[in-house]
Amino acid sequence: MKKTSNNRIIIVDDEVSMRELLVILLKREGYYVEEAGDGEEALLKLEKNYFDLVISDIQMPRMDGIKLIQKIREQEIDVVVMMITAFSTTEQAVEAMKLGAYDYITKPFKNDEIRLVVRNALESKQLRQENRTLRRALGQRFSFDMLVGKSSAMQRLISLIERVAQSQASVLVTGESGTGKELVARAIHFNSERKEAPFVAINCGAIPENLIESELFGHEKGAFTGADQRKEGLFETANTGTLFLDEIGELPAMMQVKLLRVLQEREFRRVGGTRNLPLDIRLIAASNKNFDDEVREGRFREDLFYRLNVIGVELPPLRKRQEDIPLLLNHFYRKLTGELSLPISAEALQRLTEYDWPGNIRELENLVERCLVLGWKKELTVDCLPVQYVTPQLKVRDFSHEIPDGGLDLECYLGTIEKNLLLNSLERCQGVRKRAAKLLGISFRSMRYRLAKYGIGEEDES
């Protein structure tokens, strides 16, 4: 006995015997089946009830199959249409395919043939629904609401990229590592007119120089040793959508020239190819480098920089938006646990707010995940935090050789620096003091002396 299916099918044919045959056949397969004698009757049923598949004859009185599919498309009824036709009317079946019919089958047909085409049509509809659901989920995941922050810096950023998303201009996203450059690029794409097309990301620094041209542009069969078949490049994959070139500052000089030409001509050629292929993409590039320095030192082409930097988006580091830290902590806690609010002590929150965050948002997310993995359950307290988040940090970026007007206690100042370096080295080496000593370029004996000097507890000596 066939398993009952949730799929609903309507048979549309003016021949009673044909309808009865198909109803019996498909009900045996476990489908729910209704029937209609012509297009008008079928349209009334489609307007009142949900169906997954329409199987319709073409030649019918009152409203034929061609008119029926036109009405289905006009009214935007979400249903797959399959046509049944006599051999003499295959031209009309092709016309129905142009109007959006999934497939057609000619009379007389075999039962197995009907079963197969129906199954494929329903699978096609399911895949289409899954794709729509996935795109909606991606759109929500990369909506502007996912750019967490109430600081003035973040509000200005969100306002800017909302406007940027509606344009077709190239965008250059800059900022320190871990500030969320790819998240911004995805938010721009999924809130643009190209959101239904592909978003393709590539890290320019992660691909060997001798392979990057083939990765970007693809290659023809026989273009080089090992190219045993034609390969589509990332530009081709991203066509009509968005191509995100992360770490664009790592692009070799030769590829900078080729990328500039692609942006100017809006066409490209596969490696080993002989014809240019048209290109319709939105290009978003990102880097953590200072392009003023890169251009001045000759490491990055000035003309390419201006082509990429039609609209510049600079992401603020986390240390310059500290009021966003509680929101981000809640966001990542909710993302990782599904819980709504973050249990954190006032002291722990203060320490995290005062921390310098050299790894930016990525470091903060890693911290939340680390605390959860190591057993944080009820409340995040100072005791749960790694040492560098608890001990007052020397902020290297703010370090100055100038002596304050009121003077300073040199021994205390240098001691603070030394203590922080010792603690940081132990954290990086998971408490292994021999490795920490090597990291600092001192002997193990000196390491023990310095730790004892500042009352830092001993860990693993291995």
Q: Yes or no: say if 188 and 284 are a contact pair by the CB < 8 Å rule.
A: yes
**pLDDT score of 273:** 83
**pLDDT score of 88:** 58
The residue-averaged pLDDT of 413-425 equals 84
Where does the pLDDT of residue 381 fall: very low under 50, low under 70, confident under 90, or very high at 90 and above? confident
Where does the pLDDT of residue 286 fall: very low under 50, low under 70, confident under 90, or very high at 90 and above? very high
Helix (H) or strand (E) holding 417: helix 410-428
The residue-averaged pLDDT of 414-442 equals 84
Res 2 pLDDT > 60: no
**pLDDT score of 4:** 52
Q: How many CA atoms lie within 13 A of 352 on its CB side?
A: 28
Give which of 157, 164, 256 is closest to 212, Cα–Cα.
256
**pLDDT score of 99:** 81
Where does the pLDDT of residue 315 fall: very low under 50, low under 70, confident under 90, or very high at 90 and above? very high
Res 1 pLDDT > 50: no
The residue-averaged pLDDT of 179-208 equals 89
Burial class (CB in 10 A: 0-12, 13-18, 19+), 373: exposed
CA distances from 25 to 9, 31, 111, 112, 124 (A): 12, 9, 8, 10, 21
Collect all residues with Cβ–Cβ distance below 8 Å to 243 and sequence separation of at least 6. 200, 202, 234, 235, 281, 282, 283, 284
Q: Which domains does the chain have, with CATH numbers?
A: 8-137 (3.40.50.2300), 144-316 (3.40.50.300), 317-390 (1.10.8.60), 394-462 (1.10.10.60)
Where does the pLDDT of residue 460 fall: very low under 50, low under 70, confident under 90, or very high at 90 and above? very low
Where does the pLDDT of residue 459 fall: very low under 50, low under 70, confident under 90, or very high at 90 and above? very low
Give which of 40, 117, 113 is closest to 82, Cα–Cα.
117
Where does the pLDDT of residue 445 fall: very low under 50, low under 70, confident under 90, or very high at 90 and above? confident
Could you tell me the sign of the dihedral formed by the alpha carbons of 255, 258, 262, 267, in that order? negative
Res 462 pLDDT > 50: no
Q: What is the CA radius of gyration of the chain?
A: 32
**pLDDT score of 392:** 55
Res 213 pLDDT > 50: yes
What percent of the chain has a predicted confidence (pLDDT) above 90?
A: 23
Where does the pLDDT of residue 396 fall: very low under 50, low under 70, confident under 90, or very high at 90 and above? very low
Q: 218 forms bridges with which residues in the sheet? A: 232
The residue-averaged pLDDT of 253-278 equals 89
Where does the pLDDT of residue 436 fall: very low under 50, low under 70, confident under 90, or very high at 90 and above? confident
CA distances from 413 to 80, 114, 354 (A): 75, 84, 19
Q: What's the whole-number average pLDDT of the chain?
A: 84
Of 376 and 450, the one with more pLDDT: 450
CA distances from 378 to 330, 342, 375 (A): 14, 9, 9
**pLDDT score of 225:** 78
Where does the pLDDT of residue 336 fall: very low under 50, low under 70, confident under 90, or very high at 90 and above? confident
| Chain segment 96-154, per-residue pLDDT in tens | 787 888 888 888 888 888 888 898 888 877 777 666 655 554 544 555 556 778 888 88
Output the six-digit token pair for 375: 């057993």
The residue-averaged pLDDT of 431-448 equals 86
Res 303 pLDDT > 50: yes
Collect all residues with Cβ–Cβ distance below 8 Å to 202 and sequence separation of at least 6. 215, 216, 234, 243, 244, 245, 246
The residue-averaged pLDDT of 374-378 equals 73
Where does the pLDDT of residue 393 fall: very low under 50, low under 70, confident under 90, or very high at 90 and above? low
